[in-house]
Amino acid sequence: MNQVINLKTPLTDKDVEPLRAGDRVTITGIVYTARDAAHRRLIDLVEAGKELPFKVEGQVIYYVGPSPAPPGRVIGAAGPTTSYRMDPYAPRLMELGLKGMIGKGKRSDEVKEAIKKYRAVYMAAIGGAGALMSRAIKSARIIAYEDLGPEAIRELEVENLPAIVVNDTVGNDLYIEGTEKYKKK
Amino acid sequence: MREISTQAIIDAVKEASISANYELGEDVVRAFEEGIEKEESPVGKDILNQLIENSLIARNQRIPMCQDTGLGVIFVEIGQEVSIVGGDFRSALEEGIRQGYKDGFLRKSVCHPFTRKNTGDNTPIIIHFDIVPGDKLKIWVVPKGGGSENMSQLFMLPPSAGWPGIRQRVVQTVAQAGPNPCPPTIIGVGIGGNFEQSAILAKKALLRPLGSPNPDPELGKMEEELLTEINNTGIGPQGLGGRITSLAVHIRMMPCHIASLPVAVNINCHASRHLELVL
């Protein structure tokens, strides 16, 4: 396995362009949580020409709806949710400067094209390893849509959040390549 | 008649919903360990190791193994000589889930289909009642995640499709799902019955502990055949390529209409949560 690449948020083209599908990365800094309902609201704001609750440029969105924090912890379990449900919204956010997405599962052709066009990266975290992932989260603060409960937008401070690059700026897709490699006829 | 109080039911369901989410079954952990032996991909091996670590963290630190603590699904087998006292049975089951999700810091994942407004207490829940002989009450608490449920499918095949048609649809369902349902998965297959019964059979098939044989050896052979074909797809742990796409295939079958061959495929993620209670 290759060496682990340490990424610090916010990200720039320079951080994103050398990344290739299959690279193992760790992410440190601020990431924002958003899933289905929050994405719908973000895009409604964009279409109405209004300001978003956080500046998207250079940022990383983590597709996660954490479980509630028990006493003495900053967050509950916090693994990725399936990303395709955010596909209708993701290209617009990349156009606004979103640089990274963390989730699990396949992306649409439109999203993969947008990743190339706007120089972004899609990374997978281990789905279902919510307890393990929560160790990388140092603080969590709701910044918008508290009424959405688990779907509220949270600002997370993460330290060495582990992920693997799936879709890169040159059009590679680890899901397709990985499966092809181990397929038995 | 043997009396069982609604309070005993509330308490048992509450505890089970918390335990099911904090403590991954030994059968699943054992399947991970066996998977590590068979997995050819180094990334795949690494993921299976991390899933074992995840289950230990959840168990020891008393937090859910996965943030998707599921929709509350309950199977009930109530002996016809049991009388429920102290309130109504359905409300007791729902109250158990409500209390478990609140006190266990589990995620509330139920919302209005259109407005998407969260109901706030993880209710309503899905309950399947069955009446059986005897004076026991059996309850299976089965929190079910959304990611794997979304990748499940149901087929009303023509009878001429037969076993080859069933096999093709099951493998196709898993192949199309790819990384989305959090492989390594467990595949429940319901064959026969009718439209809704095939889906219930598929979900019930997921309750069987991993590593235990199908009571019908013929179905057991079919399960092996399906598992081999699924693991030849190369999807692997988390869909990143590898051998262990699914840990097991479980089939349940019953007779069906002479015109029909219903087949339901219910996918479960590796966070296979199910607890059996006997009251």
Average pLDDT, stretch A100-129? 97
* CB-CB under 8 Å, A148 with B118: yes
Q: Does the structure show a pLDDT above 60 at B36?
A: yes
Query: Looking at beta carbons, which residues of chain A come within 8 Å of B240?
Result: 124, 164, 174-175, 178
Q: What is the predicted pLDDT for the residue at B265?
A: 98
* CB-CB under 8 Å, B234 with A129: no
CA distance to partner chain A, nearest, from residue B20 (Å):
14
CATH value at residue A113: 3.20.130.10
Average pLDDT, stretch B139-146? 96
Q: Does the structure show a pLDDT above 90 at A185?
A: no
Q: How far apart are the C-alpha atoms of B112 and B27, rounded to whole Å?
A: 35
CA distance to partner chain A, nearest, from residue B234 (Å):
4
Q: Does the structure show a pLDDT above 60 at B13?
A: yes
CA distance to partner chain A, nearest, from residue B208 (Å):
21
Q: What is the predicted pLDDT for the residue at A3?
A: 85
Average pLDDT, stretch B118-144? 97
Q: Return residues 12-71 of B near A (CB < 8 Å).
A: 40-43, 46-47, 50-51, 53-55, 57-58, 61-69
* CB-CB under 8 Å, B107 with A67: yes
Average pLDDT, stretch B115-140? 96
* CB-CB under 8 Å, A77 with B66: yes
Q: What is the predicted pLDDT for the residue at B212?
A: 97
Q: In Å, how far from its chain's centre is CA A73?
A: 22
Q: What is the predicted pLDDT for the residue at A1?
A: 55
Considering only CB atoms, B239 lies closest to which of A68, A131, A179, namely A179
Query: Looking at beta carbons, which residues of chain A come within 8 Å of B55?
Result: 131
Active site residues of A: 39
Determine the structural domain holding residue A96 and report its residue range: 4-182
Q: What share of chain A is helix, strand, coil (3-state, %, to 5)?
A: 30, 30, 40
Q: What is the predicted pLDDT for the residue at A163?
A: 97
Query: Looking at beta carbons, which residues of chain A come within 8 Å of B233?
Result: 179, 183
Q: Which two structure tokens, joined as six digits, stand for B130?
A: 């069955």
Percent over 70 (pLDDT), chain B:
100
How many structural domains does chain A have? 1
| B160 contact partners, CB below 8 Å, separation of at least 6 | none
What 3-state class would DSSP assign to A155?
Answer: strand
- Comparing CA positions, the residue from B161, B191, B207 lying closest to residue B252 is B191
Residue of B nearest to A2 (CA): B43
Average pLDDT, stretch B141-159? 97
- Tens-digit pLDDT profile for residues A1-54: 568 999 999 999 999 999 999 999 999 999 999 999 999 999 999 999 999 999
Q: How far apart are the C-alpha atoms of B122 and B211, rounded to whole Å?
A: 31
Q: Return residues 209-248 of B near A (CB < 8 Å).
A: 232-236, 238-243
Query: Looking at beta carbons, which residues of chain B come within 8 Å of A135?
Result: 57
**Structural domains for chain B:** 2-20+65-143 (3.30.360), 146-271 (no CATH)
- Mutation target for B interface from A74, A182, A183, A185: give the one with most B CBs within 10 A: A182
* CB-CB under 8 Å, B57 with A81: no
Helix crossing, B217-231 with B162-177: angle to 10°?
A: 40
Q: How far apart are the C-alpha atoms of B74 and B141, rounded to whole Å?
A: 5
Query: Looking at beta carbons, which residues of chain B come within 8 Å of A177?
Result: 241
Q: Are A32 and A59 in contact (CB under 8 A)?
A: yes
Query: Looking at beta carbons, which residues of chain A come within 8 Å of B107?
Result: 65-68, 76-77, 150
Pairing of strands B73-79, B261-268: unpaired
- Tens-digit pLDDT profile for residues B239-259: 999 999 999 999 999 999 999
- Tens-digit pLDDT profile for residues B64-101: 999 999 999 999 999 999 999 999 999 999 999 999 99
Average pLDDT, stretch B251-269? 98
Query: What are the C-alpha distances in Å from B106 to residues A65, B8, B120?
Result: 11, 21, 11
